[in-house]
Amino acid sequence: MTSDHAALYNALASRDPRFDGVFFVGVTSTGIYCRPVCTARTPRASNCRFFASAAAAEKASFRPCLRCRPELAPGSAPVDDAQRIAALVVDRIEAGLLDDGSSLEKIALHFGWSSRQIRRILRRELGVSPMELVLTRRLLLAKQLLTETELSVGEIAFASGFSSVRRFNDAFVSRYTMPPTRLRGAAGRSANGSGESRAHGHDPAARDTVTLQLGYRAPFDWRGVLGFIGARAMLGVEAVEDDTYLRTVRLGELTGWVRVRNEPARRTLLVEFPRTLTAVLPALLARLRHLFDLGARPDVINDRLAQDALLAPAVERNPGLRVPGAFDGFELAVRAILGQQITVKGATTLAGRFAAMFGEATDTPYAVLTHLTPRAERVANADANAIAALGMPGSRARCIVELARAVVAGKLRLEAGDDAAATMEQLVAIHGIGRWTANYVAMRALRWPDAFPKEDAIVRKRLGGMSPALAEERSQPWRPWRSYATLHLWQQGASAQG
């Protein structure tokens, strides 16, 4: 047994949830692969093969465990450049943006790489090709839908990215040596794998809905995330009620809503949405993973930040801290501009007026959800004076219009994984957007873990009144997790801006 094999086997035997999603184990005596938290009896070390990803295990002909369900394992947060690139490509795949070779070329072009580089990185980091990874992701999503929902096999085939039911059936049988219908028994008993009824009592949102699980790596400060998002919500578009997150959804031409609540005992979020959104399911789930920072590695992040005497007490108090992301990058950027130089509460009120003026009215089962998020196209054609009449300076209104026009023209992208440095320079080139706002957008919309708004008053106060230049120097030991350090400092101080 090699030292690496021994270390992984010890981690497997410990069933420590911090290793969930870090590696997978294939058991040669059964042909099945599991998460390291699986409750099945620990296999002999000689029967174990370890893999960095579910795709690599499936390529080696192992089938996913029906007990621990590898599709629920949280994803790995990027630690170095190669892992970051691999994670970005996986993110695009999860969002349904990689369907063929030409799509891979578009992704490569967008990030400034060649498709050959991407293939080489994925092969080195995950042990598979891009299309092998696509197939694994599709099959694991299909397996989850088969297990947790009552969607028809045809609906599941298309929702998980297959172009036909026949291709789905062939791929499922080829990979898992069983027909998809073998998994329908569990779905008939439970919508989420735990025996919870689909009826939801008298819940008004229970009409023709689907509920799925999204796994995360504990600890997870759910209430902290909800508190942060709820205080900065765009009223009418999103809301926090009864420990639950609600929002309207527009993906492409499809619209609907989503309801998210926490199940800490199972380390999962339960995501409920109308059946009509299954056509854009990969994109919906990818955006929610970003919004709730589900791919974070608190063990890695905390180990780094706890080495600093200033941050150590905060890390100890809240080891499950997450950096909330954005469901829609343009929405987040507008909300950040609206929050400049006013209180969080005042900005939330202003954002609600903005949504009512520029967002389309929509019907949902929830009284607090009344509008879809404003489209950049509509704002780009708006009169800045009309925006200013909502209660802001004319310069700020013109800034929002300029931002919208840059997005519509394709000059500015505000999506997770985009080049943070380049995007921040584009943002500050827009009159009215400063470094603080650019860092805030990078932190949340771009999901950049190393954003650091050194100009922030609370950050500087916590650092003893340092100048921005000295604050930048002081933050270097926190890299690459300065976004998380910033959230800790904000929590230690008063409510942050924006």
Q: Which residues lie below 8 Å from residue 409, measured CB to CB, with a gap of 6+?
A: none
Contact assessment for residue 383 and residue 374, using Cβ atoms and an 8 Å cutoff: no
* Closest listed residue to residue 103, CA positions, set 279, 282, 293, 329: 282
Q: Which residue has the tokens 């925006």?
A: 387
Contact assessment for residue 50 and residue 36, using Cβ atoms and an 8 Å cutoff: no
* Torsion sign over Cα 233, 351, 417, 286: positive
Known active-site residue 456: yes
**Three-class secondary structure of residue 272 per DSSP:** strand
* Closest listed residue to residue 288, CA positions, set 240, 324, 314: 324
Phi, psi values for residue 212, rounded to 5°: -130, 165
Contact assessment for residue 156 and residue 145, using Cβ atoms and an 8 Å cutoff: yes
Contact assessment for residue 78 and residue 449, using Cβ atoms and an 8 Å cutoff: yes
Known active-site residue 68: no
The catalytic position among 4, 20, 34, 363 is 34
Which DSSP symbol is given to 361?
B
Calpha distance 204→492 (Å, rounded): 39
The catalytic position among 293, 328, 418, 456 is 456
Other CB atoms within 10 A of residue 171 CB: 18
* Torsion sign over Cα 389, 392, 398, 399: negative
Other CB atoms within 10 A of residue 161 CB: 20
Which DSSP symbol is given to 319?
T
Calpha distance 97→67 (Å, rounded): 30
Q: Is the peptide bond before 204 cis (omega within 30 degrees of 0)?
A: no
Q: How far is CA 165 from CA 46, 133, 147, 162, 168, in A?
A: 39, 20, 17, 7, 5
Q: CA angle at residue 145 from 139 to 148, to 5 degrees?
A: 135
Amino acid at 274: P
**Three-class secondary structure of residue 274 per DSSP:** strand
How do strand 244-251 and strand 209-215 relate by DSSP bridges?
unpaired
Which DSSP symbol is given to 275?
G
How many Å is the maximal CA-CA distance in the chain?
72
Catalytic residues: 34, 456
